[in-house]
């Protein structure tokens, strides 16, 4: 495809294909997907997925050919606006000829039939992500590049869309999706689970979880909160780790503003997982996280806070990952203090010392590179940056920055420059020097007094 003019997102220029240096080869910035309608059939025995994806799209410039991301699965046919279309599918890129030049601002529809054995997307720097078989079910962890493992998409974090997802699986399994359950219908030996996600969602936050699960509703939060867990889940440690989710959500509402989605679900798989998994309105944990250990409790808090910081307010470029992980890490510290454990200041001092004496590669928090985007220092130095801001401007101004940022950028894409500008506008202070030293200098600044 010929290189076309760049477009502007959040005040910054974005390359023609929407390809991010951190996740190369993904996305096409010549168009946006506005809505995904996915009708899927999955055979657990044999790991066989088939489906039809209907994408409602809008041209962001005159366009006659578009590209989608689709990994491993085989395309059977493609239609554009109801008519058969020519396409090629190479190196995880599905290129579709539209048959006409679609003017800027005009909608068009893509319908893709596909099937095959879903496999995780592999990356030397980012690891494996996407559709994963479990012992008895499925887990989808797509951040940051795994969405093409299960549906054709415009895999850019700055292209949010609404979703309708219907997944048919063998009767007896529970299906959890990043959205609200509309209905489940059983015919013969198959049950179709239909979900809708009416709030704009980035592709990497879409997820499907399948297993022998039972649903536990939790009361006491401003929105429905539930745990989806194995029927045989042990109770030891469960209450300490997950029992306070409603109170946790209510606490974050006080600090950050209204919860941005219709509900919140924590899925606990019957497998051990190394880390929890983030998605919109839903987080996934392994059974090993049912523990009263702070390392488990903090991650429950971390994933819940991502609903504000990452899922509603979402980065435009992956280099700004600290806007997700630093904020979520700081949210852990806030919960720690709230429940009478270590104060925020105490945790800041502990982790400042750890980051200061870390012997890893040099890191710029504001642009850590793909190799280090999930380095623990991004999380901890990001949280320390927020604590330095809080110490600089005071508690009232700091939390006003967070609340107004969450409200102003609800379901939007953002950049670090936008946050700095917002913080300065709300506080009335010149914060350029503070953010320069914490984000764009390798040397770790001292914590303000």
What SS3 string covers the chain?
CCCCCCEEECCEEECCCCCECCECCCCCCCEEEEEEEEEEEEECCCCEEEEEEEEEEEECCCEEEEEEECCCCEEEEEEECCEECCEEEECCEEEEEEEEEECCCCEEEEEEEEEECCCCEEECCCEEEEEEEECCEEEEECCCCCHHHCCCECCCCCCCEEEEEEEEEECCCEEEECCEEEEEEEECCEEEEEEEEEEEECHHHCCEEEECEEEEEECCCCCCEEEEEECCCCCCCHHHHHCCHHHHHHHHHHHHCCCCCCCEEEEECCCCCCCCEEECCEEEECHHHCCCCHHHHHHHHHHHHCCCECCCEEECCHHHCHHHHHHHHHHHHHHHHHCCCCCHHHHHHHHHHHHHCCCCCCCCCCCCCHHHCCCHHHHHHHHHHHHHHHHHHCHHHHHHHHHHHHHHCCCCEECHHHHHHHHHHHHCCCCHHHHHHHHCCCCCCCCCC
Residue 233's pLDDT is what? 65
CATH architecture label of 314-439: Orthogonal Bundle (1.10)
In Å, how far are 323, 419, 432 from 438, measured between CA atoms? 13, 14, 10
Angstrom distance (rounded) from CA 76 to CA 53 = 12
Q: Which of 57, 121, 118 is nearest to 85 (CA)?
A: 57
Structure confidence at residue 407 as a pLDDT band (50, 70, 90): very high
- Distance spanning both ends of the chain, measured CA to CA: 54
**414-428, pLDDT tens digit by residue?**
999 999 999 999 999
User: What's the per-residue H, E or C state across 363-396?
Assistant: CCCCCCCHHHCCCHHHHHHHHHHHHHHHHHHCHH
Q: Which of 116, 136, 146, 127 is nearest to 48 (CA)?
A: 116
**Tokens linked to 361:** 């590669």
* Dihedral (CA of 190, 48, 57, 100) sign: negative
**255-269, pLDDT tens digit by residue?**
999 999 999 999 999
C-alpha 214: how far from chain center: 24
**pLDDT value at 3 more than 70:** no
Residue 5's pLDDT is what? 35
What CATH class does 1-211 carry? mainly beta
Structure confidence at residue 237 as a pLDDT band (50, 70, 90): confident
Residue 1's pLDDT is what? 29
**Tokens linked to 128:** 């494996």
Residue 234's pLDDT is what? 60
Contact 402, 256 (CB under 8 A): yes
Which of 232-236, 425-429, 437-441 has the weakest average pLDDT?
232-236
Task: Find the mean pLDDT for residues 50-74.
Answer: 98
Structure confidence at residue 17 as a pLDDT band (50, 70, 90): very low
Task: Find the mean pLDDT for residues 287-304.
Answer: 95
Q: Full-prediction pTM beyond 0.85? A: yes
In Å, how far are 38, 55, 148, 157, 338 from 94, measured between CA atoms? 17, 14, 10, 18, 49
Task: Find the mean pLDDT for residues 352-376.
Answer: 95
User: Whole-number mean pLDDT of the chain?
Assistant: 94
Residue 162's pLDDT is what? 98
Domain ranges in the chain with CATH number 1.10.390.10: 314-439
Residue 360's pLDDT is what? 87
**pLDDT value at 29 more than 90:** yes
Residue 124's pLDDT is what? 86
Structure confidence at residue 14 as a pLDDT band (50, 70, 90): very low
Domain ranges in the chain with CATH number 3.30.2010: 216-296
**pLDDT value at 285 more than 80:** yes
CATH architecture label of 216-296: 2-Layer Sandwich (3.30)
Buried/exposed code over 298-312 (b: 16+ C-beta within 10 A; e: otherwise):
bbbbbbbbbbbbbbb
Residue 15's pLDDT is what? 35
Largest CA distance in the chain: 67
Phi-psi category of residue 248: left, alpha or beta, with phi > 0 → left and psi -120 to 50 → alpha? alpha
Contact 281, 262 (CB under 8 A): yes
Q: Which of 205, 216, 256, 206 is nearest to 238 (CA)?
A: 216
Contact 426, 21 (CB under 8 A): no
Domain ranges in the chain with CATH number 2.60.40.1730: 1-211
């Amino acid at each position: 495809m010929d290189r076309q003019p760049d477009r502007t997102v959040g005040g910054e220029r974005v390359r023609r294909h929407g390809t991010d240096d951190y996740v190369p080869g993904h996305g096409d910035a010549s168009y946006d997907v506005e809505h995904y309608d996915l009708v899927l059939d999955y055979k657990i025995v044999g790991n066989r997925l088939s489906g039809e994806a209907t994408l409602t799209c809008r041209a962001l410039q005159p366009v006659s050919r578009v590209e989608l991301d689709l990994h491993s699965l085989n395309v059977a046919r493609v239609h554009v606006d109801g008519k058969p279309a020519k396409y090629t599918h190479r190196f995880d890129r599905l290129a579709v000829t539209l048959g006409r030049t679609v003017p800027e601002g005009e909608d068009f529809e893509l319908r893709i039939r596909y099937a095959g054995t879903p496999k995780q997307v592999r990356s030397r720097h980012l690891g494996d992500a996407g559709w994963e078989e479990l012992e008895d079910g499925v887990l989808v962890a797509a951040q940051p590049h795994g969405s093409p493992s299960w549906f054709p998409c415009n895999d850019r974090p700055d292209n949010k869309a609404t979703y309708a997802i219907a997944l048919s699986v063998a009767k007896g399994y529970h299906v959890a999706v990043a959205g609200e359950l509309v209905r489940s219908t059983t015919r013969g030996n198959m049950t179709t689970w239909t979900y809708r996600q009416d709030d704009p969602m980035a592709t990497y936050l879409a997820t499907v979880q399948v297993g022998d699960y039972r649903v536990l509703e939790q009361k006491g939060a401003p929105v429905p909160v539930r745990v989806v867990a194995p029927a045989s889940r042990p109770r030891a440690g469960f209450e300490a780790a997950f029992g306070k989710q409603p109170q946790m959500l209510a606490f974050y509402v006080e600090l950050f503003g209204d919860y941005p989605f219709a509900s919140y679900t924590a899925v606990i798989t019957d497998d051990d997982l190394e880390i929890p998994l983030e998605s919109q309105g839903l987080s996934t944990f392994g059974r090993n996280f049912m523990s009263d250990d702070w390392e488990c409790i903090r991650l429950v808090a971390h994933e819940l806070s991502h609903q504000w910081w990452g899922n509603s307010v979402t980065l435009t470029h992956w280099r700004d990952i600290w806007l997700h992980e630093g904020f979520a890490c700081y949210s852990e510290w806030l919960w720690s203090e709230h429940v009478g454990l270590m104060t925020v200041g105490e945790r800041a001092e502990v982790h400042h010392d750890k980051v200061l004496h870390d012997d890893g590669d040099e890191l710029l928090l504001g642009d850590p590179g793909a190799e280090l985007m999930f380095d623990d220092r991004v999380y901890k130095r990001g949280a320390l940056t927020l604590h330095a801001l809080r110490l600089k401007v005071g508690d009232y101004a700091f939390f006003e920055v967070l609340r107004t940022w969450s409200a102003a950028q609800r379901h939007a894409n953002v950049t670090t420059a936008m946050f700095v500008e917002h913080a300065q506008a709300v506080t009335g202070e010149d914060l350029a020097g503070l953010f320069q030293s914490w984000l764009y200098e390798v040397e770790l600044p001292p914590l303000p007094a």
